[in-house]
Amino acid sequence: MLKLIKITLISVFVMAVVICSAAVYAGRTGAMGRVMNKVESHAPYEISRDAQMMHNALTVMDWHCDALLWEKNLLKRSSNGHVDFPRLREGNVAVQMFTVVTKSPSGQNYDSNTGESDNITLLAWAQGWPKETRDSLLARALYQAKKLHDFQAEKPEEVMIVRTKKDLEKALAARKDALAADKTPPTASLIGLEGCHALENKLENVQALYDAGYRMIGLLHFFDNEVGGSLHGVSSSGLTPFGRDVVRKCEELNMIIDLAHSSPQVAEDVLAMATRPVVVSHTGVYGTCPKKRNFQDALMKKIADKGGIIGIGYWDAVCDTTPEGVVKSIRYAIDLVGVDHVALGSDYDGSVTTKFDTSELAILTQTMMDNGFTDAEIAKVMGGNSVRFLMENLPD
């Protein structure tokens, strides 16, 4: 009896510690999001009248933002993190890819990680996610997608989820009409996955994600998974047989494949078998920032030669995160792979620090103008290439 009482007391104590820790953590998730997704303090950027007019006329797209990971109301403007719908409108972002993180290893780094630990489990608990998300990575992916659907249901005039080419056409037309009438324009919103570990080693879950609105699949994240090796894993391996099945299934469904975080060998294997172009949704370029996070220049050229898109980020994968540094990476990428293959891939709200948030994107237009970019180059990089790619590769 005493032994049973002792075990019970220990169990109660452990549960109390877990609950208290989660409660404290939950109370800090807003603060944690601000710290992990910081915008460095800076004086307001000076945007000339000409640059602002040009920026306002652009169709801007960002290929990578992890805002759905955090429990915040994206319909309201906030100082928390980098992205919400009001700030997207302030930055004239017409199209946003919302990417979904389902697992992240402790101590994640660019060099070597395993999938044995996971930061997202406690985050899901602390933020009050549904019970099933504590154990199921697929449930985490479906839950984050549901958040975006809920935002659309609450404000359909502000959020338009894109599944098809016609959806994109409709959203961009609605945006044009709203701006002409001086009304709030909608943001065309897509959903992408960051890492196929969320498939839970079941090919049928590709269809489940497609049905939930996913239109881009990132094969890997910070650790190796069932489809192959991560750029930051331990194996450096290529596609597994399951990985090849996933690629074929994505192509069958016209889902875009994202090679960000994939090992070079996975990228080579995908390029060898894919019949459709792929993207690297958020990256730097090795020639200006020689970190393991970035593919070597020769591989980037192969991706572009297959019709792919390279999304240039704003965090330390570009080494110099000032607007000038980001534009330097864009210029190098254009010279390397051609202007038709370069785009924006911020990695906003992906536990990164930047020097501007999405409301301040006009500074990129200004900086490109200051550095002699042509109007056509600016228009293509800021979103023209991305919209063209989507119109060519989304489902009909």
Q: How confident is the model at residue 189 (pLDDT cuts 50, 70, 90)?
A: very high
Integer-rounded Cα radius of gyration of the chain = 21
Residue 104 near residue 221, CB atoms below 8 Å:
yes
Please report the beta strands in 52-158, taking only residues with DSSP state E, as ranges in sequence order.
60-65, 93-101
By three-state DSSP, how is residue 394 classified? coil
Residue 37 near residue 349, CB atoms below 8 Å:
yes
Q: Half-sphere exposure of residue 378, counting CA atoms within 13 Å on the CB side?
A: 23
- For residue 342, the one-letter residue type is V
43: which DSSP letter?
Answer: P
Rounded to an integer, what distance in angstroms lies between the CA atom of residue 166 and that of residue 396? 7
When pLDDT is averaged across residues 293-322 and rounded to a whole number, the result is: 98
Q: What pLDDT does residue 306 have?
A: 98
Q: What is the largest CA-CA distance in the chain?
A: 82
Is pLDDT of 12 > 90? no
Q: How confident is the model at residue 14 (pLDDT cuts 50, 70, 90)?
A: very low
Is pLDDT of 33 > 80? no
* Unique residue bearing structure tokens 């192969």: 302
Q: Which of 335, 285, 286, 343 is nearest to 310 (CA)?
A: 343
By three-state DSSP, how is residue 99 classified? strand
Report the 10 Å Cβ neighbour count for 226: 15
Angle at 330 between CA 329 and CA 334, to 5 degrees: 115
In terms of pTM, does the model score above 0.85?
Answer: yes
Q: What is the pLDDT of residues 244-261, one digit of tens each?
A: 999 999 999 999 999 999
Rounded to an integer, what distance in angstroms lies between the CA atom of residue 137 and that of residue 123? 13
Is pLDDT of 40 > 80? yes
Q: Half-sphere exposure of residue 257, counting CA atoms within 13 Å on the CB side?
A: 31
